[in-house]
Each structure stands twice: as C-alpha cells, then as structure tokens.
Structure 1
C-alpha cells in the first residue's frame, strides 16, 4: 500500500478532480462494507466482527507506518484525540448500527444512514462554523437525501418510525459520523495514515476486551466466507478507506466529505445493473441525477465553475 501525500505537501489548492475521484473511491469502499458485514456476521458475532475489523485494519496501517520508516506520535494529547476520534468514527457507530440492523429493514436503514451530511451541515452551521456553508451546500444536502429516497423507493420511508429505539440508534450513529468528520480536522498537521491508524488502534483497545468477555471468540467456528468478508472489510473498507477519509477531510472539508454517504446508494444500484442484470426504474434514474447534483453542490466551490 503506497502512502498518500499530506495536504501540506501539496499545493495549497488541491486538484478537485483528484479529490472527487477519491471521494468516489471512498464511497465505493464504504458501500461495499455492508455486503462484507452481512456475510461476516452470519458466523461471527457483531461485536467480535467489529473488534476484529479494527484490530486487523489498525495493525495493517501500523505495519505500513513502520515500513515507511515513520512512527506514531508519542504526545499524550494527540492520543486523547485519537481515542475521541475512535469513539466517534468506529466504536459507537459500528456497534449501534450492528445492533440496530438486526430489526430495522434495509431500506429504512439506508435512508437513515444517509443523513450524515445533514447533521454535518447543521453542526457546522450552528456550532463550529469551521468552513463556509451556504445555500448551495444546503440545497445539495437536501437534494442528495431526496435522491437517496427515490433510489431506494419512497415506500421505505413508511418504515421509519416503526422501531423507534433501533432507528434512533442509527440516527445517533450518523450524528457520530458527522462529528467525526468535523473533529477530524484537528489532525491537519499529520499524515492521514497517522489518525487512521491511531484511531483504529484505540478502537481496538476499547472493543477487544469486551469481545473477549462477551463472545469468547476462541469458541467460535467462523466459515471461510465470513473470514474472507472480514479480510476484505478490514483491508479495503477500513484501512484504505480511513486513510482516504482523513485526507479528504483536510482537502475538501468535513461537510463535502460526508457526501460519500449519498454516493454509496447509486454505486450500489450501478453494481446491481452491471453485475446482476437489474433494471433501472424511472424513480431510480431521477434519484441518481439528484444525488449527483447534490454532491456537486456540496463539493465543488462556486468560484471554480468557470
């Protein structure tokens, strides 16, 4: 795995085409995570599956850091930030979603999971104000959510409100993701691999003891498919994805980075059309167009239109 250059090492204005391409890659990697998780938890309990995910991904990134001749920060204050980032970006949301999706139907879960940009926008507008948010981003946030509903199907909205506790857990997870995208800006002076590895290792330290106590992993008999899903999730949808994530937070901002939550849905639809022979309904086409327009409004600065 080759390292990605830090924002400080590049020009002050990153190439937007590159960043948008990386945003698409990130959306694809995290979109694939749902399939990995679905296969993995068939024979591995969710808590142990998540703990293993953070352990393997963190270990991979630590090995890459050592291979590059670097070392993780030793400042205690930095590690406290890594710990908080781990709680916001992995420990709490991973656990909440894994628990909630035992009862929440897929359509409602997908729509609720796509609300991260809304919370990132509101937190930025009302609390942090760390980056410019105007009517273009607000319109993009709403267009993206509307497009997501059209793609998944408006009938999925009917399921929202039936299991308030579980659906509330998913919403809380999306709030955590929004907070993580905003808090991630404190690592601006670090190579993106450092907060990615540090937060994952902190997440492992929190999750692994609970997994050992609750699930007793040594008594499990995971299937080969579950183990392969765990490997794919850890390497691609976690280790690589986290490095891309922290880079994008610094280059395009926290609110635009959360736009990948919308991109996951049309990517999944496209995979179904290309590989499974599924057909595109008119509402899906309209939804995909709305998502693309919404993401563009959230990520492309107004001054760059010329």
Structure 2
C-alpha cells in the first residue's frame, strides 16, 4: 500500500515547485528558439534521449538497479503520453503559435488533472476548485486580444495537456521504477517514440544555428534532467492540483521572457490577468489545515499500486 499524497509543503516540495515553476516557464521560449533551425520532434528526441541516457548512466554508477521488463513497459506508457503527446504536441504547435500563447493555453492542466484524479479516487477540495476557476479566469483575460495561433496550433495546445495530465495521474498507479530511475526510463522511452515519429514525418536535420543548439542544451539539462525529475516527484508526493499548478505560473515566466527577450508586447489587461492567475495559484498551493487531533500527513485515500518516483 503506497502512501497518499501529502498535504504539507515540505522544503523539498517547495524546491521542486520553484524549479518547475521557473524552469518550465522558460522552456516555452527555449523551444521556440530551438525549432528555428532544428526539426521539432527530432529536437525533442535528442533532448530526452540524451537526458535519459545521462541520468541512467549516473544512477547505474551509483549502484541503482535497471528497471524490470514490467517497469520498462509502464515507463514507455508514461513517456509516450507526457513527452510524446504532451511536450511533442506543444512543440509542433509552437511552429504557428508564440511561446506565450502556448504557456497560456497549457494552463488548463490543473483542471484536467483534478478531473482525471477523480477517476482514481483523488479528492479535490473546494478551495482547490476555486483556485482552478480563478486561474482559468485569468487565462481568459490574458487571451483577450493576445491570442495569436492557427486553428491547428490551438487544437494541439488543447490536446497536449489532456495527454500530459492523464499520463501524470495514471503514472501514480503504474509499476514505475523507483526514484530518478523512473524519470530516466520515461525520458529514454519517450525519446524513442519521438524519434520514430520524427522519422515517420520525414523531418530533416539542416545546419542548426548556435542559438538553437544552446537552447537544446538548456532544454536537455534544465528542462529535462532537473525540472522533469522534480515534476515526477511532485506527481508522486502531492495533490494533483498542486503538482500541476506550474501551469498557472509558467505563463508569467513565458510572457516575461517574451517581452524581455523576444520583443513581444503585453497590454494593461494582460498584466492584470497575470495577477489573477497568481491568485489562483495561491488558492491551490496554500497548505491545508489539518483537523484538530488529526495527523498532518495524508488525508486522501491511498492507492493500491506504487506511486511514480516513490523513494526518490
């Protein structure tokens, strides 16, 4: 019987949240720069393949056991949904949408996570639902007059969080490898799926620019090795709404980078919307007060299967 998600914001949970908030907010801009001269799916295959191989090598040198066949199969399912369906669709969409718009639309992730979490008996509190609603209102305001994307890009950006959040919640009930070995296996298998899709789509590698190569290096080290591992820890040890609350902060970081580095502009309504979004985040992540005489640890029902990243 695995432990239920904790409702206490421990220092490690806060560190993981901060990492995912800031780093993944910047990866939208990084992806935009990388695909200027690199094939979208091929770039992701290289990103996750290299990151997964490096992490696997380090873990093996430290004595970690290789995943079993059953664990590899579970990792492939999660890697395909999160990295192939989630990140892959976002990257394809960014060919015809700005990095800011991509981050804005992905902000529906906490809502999908709460809905999918209920399939496995996860409880979402009233304040969390309020935070989700407030965050979505902020996204609507932010998109007013700011949305610049083709219909196909918009459809891909809606489908991406469906794949990502379903895979995230399903991963809590799959026999994944423990700790960081789970992240390594998911990145390797997800990278393999992306490479296959790249070949099937006939993507070609030309002469990449220095900026694209630097962006790929940043995405590999910070976006994959660091932030993805932090996210999988949050999925395993926190509530669904909290684990995916990064989707509300990422637009703030993405817009800041777009305005500061990409020459994008944001009007008064847009900046006001960012304040609404941050209010939604605060409602979602604010610690729950344990009932008098109750333990401060889990209040949700435990699951029967091992959680992703357990023992990290």
Global fold match (TM > 0.5)? yes
SS across alignment from 1:297 = helix
2:181 matched residue in structure 1:
194
1:19 maps to 2:13: yes
CA contact 2:71–2:177 (8 Å) conserved in 1: no
2:81 matched residue in structure 1:
88
CA contact 1:144–1:295 (8 Å) conserved in 2: yes
Task: Identify unmatched segments of 5+ residues in structure 2.
Answer: 293-312
2:60 matched residue in structure 1:
66
Cα deviation code 1:238-284 (max 9, x no counterpart): 11111101111122122211100101122345567888999996545
Distance 1:110 1:239, change over 3 A: same
Q: 1: distance between equivalents of 2:162 and 2:176?
A: 25
2:236 matched residue in structure 1:
250
Cα deviation code 1:129-162 (max 9, x no counterpart): 2x22122111111112222344x352135x68xx
Distance 1:305 1:242, change over 3 A: farther
Higher helix share: 1
Pairwise CA RMSD: 3.2
1:146 to 137, 144, 147: 137
Q: Which runs of 4+ in 1 moved over 6 A?
A: 272-281
SS across alignment from 1:90 = helix
CA contact 2:100–2:254 (8 Å) conserved in 1: no
2:125 to 123, 128, 134: 134
1:173 maps to 2:160: yes
Distance 1:274 1:44, change over 3 A: closer
Distance 1:206 1:254, change over 3 A: same
2:169 matched residue in structure 1:
182
Q: 2: distance between equivalents of 1:248 and 1:109?
A: 22
CA contact 2:107–2:139 (8 Å) conserved in 1: yes
1:155 maps to 2:145: yes
Distance 1:90 1:278, change over 3 A: closer
Deviation at 1:102, TM superposition (A): 2.4
1:55 matched residue in structure 2:
49
SS across alignment from 1:186 = coil
**What is the TM-score normalised by the length of structure 2?**
0.80
Task: Identify unmatched segments of 5+ residues in structure 1.
Answer: 1-6
Deviation at 1:287, TM superposition (A): 3.0
SS across alignment from 2:173 = helix
2:203 to 215, 222, 226: 215
CA contact 1:41–1:226 (8 Å) conserved in 2: yes
1:3 matched residue in structure 2:
none
2:284 to 275, 294, 298: 298
Distance 1:71 1:35, change over 3 A: same
CA contact 2:29–2:99 (8 Å) conserved in 1: no
Cα deviation code 1:140-193 (max 9, x no counterpart): 11112222344x352135x68xx4433222111110111122122136885431
